Structure 1
């Protein structure tokens, strides 16, 4: 009944209603902390707001979001003047477009998801009770499902039998009628001529008229498995919400895309209006000049949609290869200048003969599935370091946008090309200056170690010039944040570099052609959010004041002075700044206050705009917050960490402890972040400290991103080595300062951290007492080349040179217990990486030291047969077995 009410409310809601849609049990603070409640089937954490953007005036901010438990991401608009928030879309609001049948399907699937959550939670708690020795009926869920299946099958059988009987009666009647017709034509009058009867609708047969279906229990279980597999929830089963939106250049209005259709909303309207319902998957690019038109793109064409009369004009013909018209380009990216006069078309062409697509780069590897009677193989694409590459030829065209009604002009020559082939080539999106007079982009060529930033003029024929070039001395983590752009006045080109060892914005004066750093200090600031209209101030996300928290800062373009807009201690993500520079929004929070979308104004308290999570979660986390600490390693680097200490902890204790590590470069992420509740590093650590008196530490070693080039480049051509040194220094620090028994310290990590755990146990075999290594890439020559060639070491596409970093030759050194964990259908880090280490350990006589914990259907984040609570139940048992209990 509660669920039906929730679905009904979901179908009719059109305005913002802050509240939890959770149907799962809440966690009372007085209850003991259990893994089943901590890792609840329905997550406590909801989806954060995405894609926040201000209207041109800064009065309105729109974002995609939904409250806890609701599916999809709907569109909301917050009025900063009145403080009111309007919900523009919801399942109910979109019913006129989808139709009631489609929305009813969405509602049924939503109900199924909630029921799945409830059943799984009940089963988790029942299993825990059973293991405690309590009387529990563990078969009740299967029995209920089988009873339902049998009832459905019997009802279908009855319908089928009734239909057969009706069909048989119709056939007999038809036979008699045809016999009478034949007799009449032969001149033989029938003995009696029955009056024609009106066929009656088949009457459902009574239950007793159809025999009961008889099957063995194993057959019913097979049928149940088939039904569950057929009805398994897929992403497209649930209401999707809004895919994207774009604000007008001047007016207080926007256009958004929902399931391929375009809708328009203007400030003051109660609901959006359908603009184009062709369901073609058009992607909105931008409003045109004066907000009278809209630029959109399908797979290959750029179209201009005029609001008046809804006329549509194709702005580009299909692009063709300059040497062979049979080889057609395909538009990969289109950028229209703000004034609507110019567009940049980035296109790619096939490499194969006769214009046919070339074979995919890399190879396909088989991943075995075990959910059928016999194992089946699924093929997944994979490109490793020694695979030949197939980079498509690239061409950049600068084209004048045709006037309304004008015929398309002749195809110009591209202003920039790259021939592609067996190379590593990356190109950033093209960005126009605000006045539409210039454009810029950047390229990176890995083999040549060549980074270039280009500047071009609005001209169909003029080639862009290289204005910034770096060869060789380029940080491995700067390439992925290259986004050259212009200040609003068009006088300065800004791009992120790490010339000083930190990813920060640099400004190129376009008149003087002088390059200078915009900020001062040792910190990361690689996300430029925008500028004030006069170009005197800019906005960035930076960890200037706290390594564990990115804040929104306003900085002076001339002198680099910085002011924080957000609260100290909050980690800020998904930030946006209004064009007038007076306010910003960001998803911000910290361990004791889970992240929400907040409106930020310099010198004023933040205003919370969303309520994304189950309220019970905040209470659970607020009372259990770790302590942060830092220490210097043997090289003088300051390492960041946090620790969960148990109640009654003293520095003189000799407690068991576990250290969690990741250790690898990963764009802008590391483990010690004030809004990160990573299941193992944070939540399980919290649990082990509270329930078992363990000291639980999470450390950011060298190798991590967002600590400058010295950290992120430390891993290059020495994967695992600097991290192991830091973990050795951590062990010493823990013994001296955290009240732990040095002989009872475990090590744990996932993905790169799984590799790192094994590397440490194999190269410092006497240091840590036991280890858990999850999904570790133990053979870097078999990992994805986009990562390994950027962060591990130089590659050679003629041979697997990264094999020199394999862990297999080191495995024989293991001395302490090791649990290897992996999802067997992992397409990211292949399950074979764990199997091969396991084999090497067995071959070296380590049978009594190594164990396997596998999820037959799990992928890189597991999620198959092994659920999060059970996953960590295994961890709990392993640590208690090998590290013992606290005194």
Structure 2
């Protein structure tokens, strides 16, 4: 595979044209419409490719090398708004390099690359990066060739499936021979040196004794090779296994690119962090300027107020350097507890006010017991590894609902940033603390007002169901004031969006709250503490992007008008008037805004236009600029289908979103087999029906089954998902799985008439929470689906991570495993239809034991003929061990064809 060329220094590029897929030119994106009937089908997809064997194969769809690279991340504008910096690398290249786009000229500069950073790296490290990149590309090519050859072999073609092992063993034999020759030569040299030293000592001894010198020893002969037997094949295979384990790629093996950057306060320049070093970039510079080079973990913080220096952190301290003079100043030394020298606080986070005069230090200390001893480590569970001759176990952390908690003590310090060479001052007392221990306590980042006069943060205490917002003055001693308190039903998903922000004038604090069933921004008047909503309506808008300089306009991401998309919304803070900035029907992610209010950057796209980083003019007078091109050009050759969006009303009148793939020649009178995919669990803003989601099973495999086998495939978001309001995200509380099962039941009733489906041949599939959901539905409604595939499902919630189960499943009791009431094991006896259980045996998230235990119950209930296991011995939560996506979905394909049958001619 040819590696894309990498420029040898910063280059100037013209803006990229918007990316489209020519092969999808006639396919129209079906946008969401309001449902006025129980089932509201939306715009169908035209010119769908015919369902036949010419459809892309699974080996092509799930090829070894992904068809897409990473999207741009960490986008941020310079203070003037002229420049946009982001981390991204073109398709096929490792790491995420730093790029800067000039909004005035439209040119983009690539600031870093492996060649540029080689000037600051040890040659050995750069050689290792290049060697490991070649190894990765070779592994991609070999894995793809093996996948294709294996399928050819199964079709009866003459294929040598051992060719890769044979080549690897021949290479290994060559390496072993070279190593032996080198070792033998070294042994001979060592023996010759020893004999020479022995002879010299004998000569010296004879001379001192007055005796004649002894005769020299004969030269050492070459090692006798008669006893050197070539290793047998099984020995070579063992050696090869060890070699592959030693050389297995790790994240640190590949060139990483920069990790962080921070813009200056006034100047159009930035400092970025790369592998233990800090570097300065200025627009006219030919290359980055090194500032600090260490082997320590560094974190960028902020420029000094005059832009003549920079503040950063190492593992324990806050440091400052000057661009004009040598030396580094310690701004804040390692914290200690004033009453206990041994109780040292470690600084987790430092935030500098924009005026550079104040900083907040969030620190944590080791938890100790009542007798002042270190707290015992938390629970660890063992995961078995069967890759060696004898099975071994590794331990992973696991905190379950009935475990005592070991939350570290927390302290918030407010400190004036020392000026110049000011000597160290006495450490102040913290302004806010939490003792930690057996509690659930979470705290947001600290936000500073633009003028540095005040700060704010929020806290959430789960057991107390207590949400609080604090406002503090810029003072080392004054305690912050609690200005908002909500206790009880505040919506469990609010904790993920507790990010208070001040408007530029500092007069308003904006909070994302769930006061009316939807996470939306609220404005608190700093002077009066009055709280008011900035938006109204049944939609989610909890990701605040920024404000205009006059503090009159807010920009936020929201799914107003289309729950499957997120757009940039411009909101008048006085009236609530809202206007979309981005293109309708696109999902905008990871957005950033310029301080002058002219520009917004976001990764945006949909099924027809793959997501890329786009620069949006907030006045909508200029077309969006597409700044990245993250796809392999071969992606267009797949001619992937696009789904049709639809929605239906469940028995409670809730609108349930979904999409469907219909095969060519489809008619409503058909009796086709069908598969429904479900995820089903709340987490931040995750759901399946998103216009830019190419999820492996729901989208890629779903369109494959439609194109190849004429199936109707549906992906659905029943109650239980996030980003549909609190009614959906809280649906599982103390009735896990039941709301989703009701919604799936309502969907199945509609499918025969509306989608040309044989009601007796519908399958259900889900992963993770969806794996739980698939099992729950198959056990409690055994006649609803004809077959099911459940992947990595948490069957015993008392054994799952408490941070999730205690928020979404039910109230916990840390004295006993009360979540056992939601276990699937007692329900398993209800199974009537075929079920395949899929799991990675080294999954640290949903433990493999969950599948083993429910499998035991199924066998004990006499379900041997109905249940089968598909396991990845080396796989984790998303598999990825010996089982690769193509093989994984090939197993799915065979299962569905066996149990749901084929489409009649």
TM > 0.5: yes
Aligned to 1:856: 873
**Does 410-419 or 709-718 show the bigger shift?**
410-419
Counterparts of 1:42 and 1:192, CA distance in 2: 68
Alignment pair present for 1:52 and 2:75: yes
Alignment pair present for 1:258 and 2:281: no
Aligned to 2:627: 609
Aligned to 1:179: 202
**Does 458-467 or 10-19 show the bigger shift?**
10-19
Counterparts of 1:35 and 1:549, CA distance in 2: 28
Within 5 Å, give how 1:491-570 maps onto structure 2: 491-570=507-586
Aligned to 2:8: 12
Alignment pair present for 1:820 and 2:837: yes
Counterparts of 2:498 and 2:190, CA distance in 1: 71
**Does 393-402 or 68-77 show the bigger shift?**
393-402
Aligned to 1:840: 857
Counterparts of 1:328 and 1:111, CA distance in 2: 45
Within 5 Å, give how 1:451-850 maps onto structure 2: 451-601=467-617, 602-603=619-620, 604-620=622-638, 623-850=640-867
- CA offset at residue 403 of structure 1? 2.0
Counterparts of 2:226 and 2:310, CA distance in 1: 63
Alignment pair present for 1:68 and 2:85: no
Aligned to 2:66: 43
Residues 474-516 of structure 1, C-alpha deviations (whole Å, 9 max, x = no match): 1111111110111000000110011111100000112232111
Aligned to 2:303: 287
Counterparts of 2:435 and 2:630, CA distance in 1: 47
2:313 to 264, 273, 297: 297
Q: Structure 2 stretches of 5 or more lacking a match?
A: 17-22, 25-48
SS across alignment from 1:821: strand
- CA offset at residue 322 of structure 1? 4.4
SS across alignment from 1:630: strand
- CA offset at residue 413 of structure 1? 2.1
2:138 to 115, 120, 132: 115
Counterparts of 1:303 and 1:489, CA distance in 2: 29
Counterparts of 1:614 and 1:18, CA distance in 2: 20
Given that residues 615 and 627 in structure 2 are in contact (C-alpha distance below 8 angstroms), is that contact kept between their aligned partners in structure 1? yes
Given that residues 296 and 315 in structure 2 are in contact (C-alpha distance below 8 angstroms), is that contact kept between their aligned partners in structure 1? no
In structure 2, the CA distance between the partners of 1:840 and 1:798, relative to structure 1 (3 Å rule), is same
Counterparts of 1:472 and 1:127, CA distance in 2: 58
Aligned to 1:188: 211
TM-score (norm 2): 0.93
Given that residues 9 and 111 in structure 2 are in contact (C-alpha distance below 8 angstroms), is that contact kept between their aligned partners in structure 1? no
Residues 72-101 of structure 1, C-alpha deviations (whole Å, 9 max, x = no match): 111000111111111111111111211222
- CA offset at residue 701 of structure 1? 0.3
Aligned to 1:320: 336
Aligned to 2:429: 413
Alignment pair present for 1:139 and 2:143: no
SS across alignment from 2:624: strand
- CA offset at residue 166 of structure 1? 3.5
Residues 41-73 of structure 1, C-alpha deviations (whole Å, 9 max, x = no match): 001011000000000111100000001110011
Counterparts of 2:344 and 2:170, CA distance in 1: 59
Given that residues 365 and 381 in structure 1 are in contact (C-alpha distance below 8 angstroms), is that contact kept between their aligned partners in structure 2? yes
SS across alignment from 1:864: coil
Given that residues 414 and 474 in structure 2 are in contact (C-alpha distance below 8 angstroms), is that contact kept between their aligned partners in structure 1? yes
In structure 2, the CA distance between the partners of 1:359 and 1:16, relative to structure 1 (3 Å rule), is farther
- CA offset at residue 619 of structure 1? 4.5
Given that residues 593 and 618 in structure 1 are in contact (C-alpha distance below 8 angstroms), is that contact kept between their aligned partners in structure 2? no
- CA offset at residue 188 of structure 1? 2.8
Given that residues 680 and 718 in structure 2 are in contact (C-alpha distance below 8 angstroms), is that contact kept between their aligned partners in structure 1? yes
Q: Which has the higher contact order (CA 8 A, sep 6+)?
A: 2
Residues 341-390 of structure 1, C-alpha deviations (whole Å, 9 max, x = no match): 111112222222686642233x0000000110010000001100000011
- CA offset at residue 158 of structure 1? 2.1
**Does 449-458 or 295-304 show the bigger shift?**
295-304
Residues 410-454 of structure 1, C-alpha deviations (whole Å, 9 max, x = no match): 222222122222111111011110000010000001111110011
SS across alignment from 1:308: coil
- CA offset at residue 161 of structure 1? 2.5
**Does 442-451 or 394-403 show the bigger shift?**
394-403
Aligned to 1:24: none
1:867 to 879, 884, 902: 884
SS across alignment from 1:593: coil
Counterparts of 1:671 and 1:881, CA distance in 2: 27
Aligned to 1:23: none
CA RMSD of aligned residues (A): 2.3
Counterparts of 1:192 and 1:630, CA distance in 2: 100
Counterparts of 1:295 and 1:821, CA distance in 2: 49
Aligned to 2:322: 306
TM-score (norm 1): 0.95
Counterparts of 2:411 and 2:848, CA distance in 1: 39
Residues 720-750 of structure 1, C-alpha deviations (whole Å, 9 max, x = no match): 0000000001111111200000000000000
Counterparts of 1:192 and 1:236, CA distance in 2: 57
Counterparts of 1:166 and 1:516, CA distance in 2: 85
Given that residues 18 and 67 in structure 1 are in contact (C-alpha distance below 8 angstroms), is that contact kept between their aligned partners in structure 2? no
- CA offset at residue 281 of structure 1? 1.8
Counterparts of 1:164 and 1:371, CA distance in 2: 35
Aligned to 1:151: 174
Given that residues 350 and 356 in structure 1 are in contact (C-alpha distance below 8 angstroms), is that contact kept between their aligned partners in structure 2? no
Aligned to 2:394: 378
Counterparts of 1:582 and 1:212, CA distance in 2: 76
Counterparts of 1:543 and 1:501, CA distance in 2: 15
Given that residues 161 and 210 in structure 1 are in contact (C-alpha distance below 8 angstroms), is that contact kept between their aligned partners in structure 2? no
**Does 164-173 or 626-635 show the bigger shift?**
164-173
Counterparts of 1:487 and 1:149, CA distance in 2: 64
**Does 757-766 or 335-344 show the bigger shift?**
335-344
SS across alignment from 1:658: strand
Given that residues 14 and 92 in structure 1 are in contact (C-alpha distance below 8 angstroms), is that contact kept between their aligned partners in structure 2? no
Residues 758-785 of structure 1, C-alpha deviations (whole Å, 9 max, x = no match): 0000110000000000000010000000
Aligned to 2:105: 82
- CA offset at residue 318 of structure 1? 3.1
Counterparts of 2:326 and 2:194, CA distance in 1: 57
Q: Structure 1 stretches of 5 or more lacking a match?
A: 21-26
Counterparts of 2:509 and 2:566, CA distance in 1: 24
SS across alignment from 1:48: coil
**Does 48-57 or 349-358 show the bigger shift?**
349-358
Aligned to 2:44: none
Aligned to 1:33: 56
**Does 870-879 or 345-354 show the bigger shift?**
345-354
Counterparts of 2:712 and 2:748, CA distance in 1: 12
- CA offset at residue 213 of structure 1? 4.3
Alignment pair present for 1:884 and 2:901: yes
- CA offset at residue 32 of structure 1? 3.5
Aligned to 1:216: 232
Counterparts of 2:227 and 2:604, CA distance in 1: 63
Residues 609-654 of structure 1, C-alpha deviations (whole Å, 9 max, x = no match): 0111112214435x51011111111111011100111111111000
